[in-house]
Amino acid sequence: MNTVRGAGKNLRRVDPRNPKPYLARMAIRPLLILPDPRLRKVSEPVKRVDAKLKALVADMFETMYDAPGVGLAAIQVGEPIRVVTMDATRGDDPKNPIAMINPEIVWFSDEKIVVEEGCLSIPEFLDDVERSESVRVKFLDTDGKQQEIEAGGLLSRVIQHEVDHINGVLFIDHLSRLKRDRVTKKFAKAAKREAAG
């Protein structure tokens, strides 16, 4: 999910005060863009939290901060496993990187709010989406420990958006069919143009 756009492409940004996600060698990974069919796959649960998984999480943070975005699901970098990264501080200091493995939303508030959303896999397109104001989510952290948090505000929204991704759901699925079809066609055309060179 992205709410901020602009500069930063190809810049490696490492915050020395917050090096935790950057312990491994990092790489900015290419993002899958609509209508890549992999974005529609349901991601598989993670069975083991190991060094390979931690390296993926480090790459995901690097890719997410570079974009820049406030959330990223592993499938957006082509890995069909249930891993998401997020940071709802939107570039403020200090950063608050959160990685969730096998996240499961166990409670949605009845209170709903409408907020404008975007997605790194659907660049340059924003629209209003109604979601629960708060959620409670269970997940494994990168030490393999079970965690459960309740979140409101932007973090709640990012959690819902990213958990959608690992279920093959995109934020445009929450729009009217007309709007969804229009944006899907536009991206399909752009992909065709690109393939044709």
**Which chain residues interact with Ni ion by CB under 5 A?**
1, 119
CA 9 to chain centre: 18
> Shortest Cβ contact with Ni ion: which residue?
119
Selecting among 79, 150, 162, 194, the annotated active-site residue is 162
- C-beta closer to Ni ion: residue 2 or 132: 2
Q: How far apart are CB 12 and Ni ion at their closest, in Å?
A: 23
- C-beta closer to Ni ion: residue 49 or 97: 97
Q: How far apart are CB 161 and Ni ion at their closest, in Å?
A: 6
Q: How far apart are CB 69 and Ni ion at their closest, in Å?
A: 8
> Which of 36, 33, 38, 29 lies closest to 60 in space, CA to CA?
29
Q: How many residues does the chain have?
A: 197
> Which of 81, 90, 86, 78 lies closest to 21 in space, CA to CA?
86
- C-beta closer to Ni ion: residue 1 or 64: 1
What b/e string do you get for 163-175 counting C-beta neighbours within 10 Å, with b at 16 or more? Answer: bbbbebbbbbebb
- C-beta closer to Ni ion: residue 53 or 119: 119
Where do runs of H (alpha helix) occur along the chain? 51-66, 153-166, 177-196
Q: How far apart are CB 51 and Ni ion at their closest, in Å?
A: 27
Query: What is the C-alpha separation between 128 and 12, in angstroms, rounded?
Result: 31
124 in active site:
no
CA 54 to chain centre: 16
Active-site positions read 162
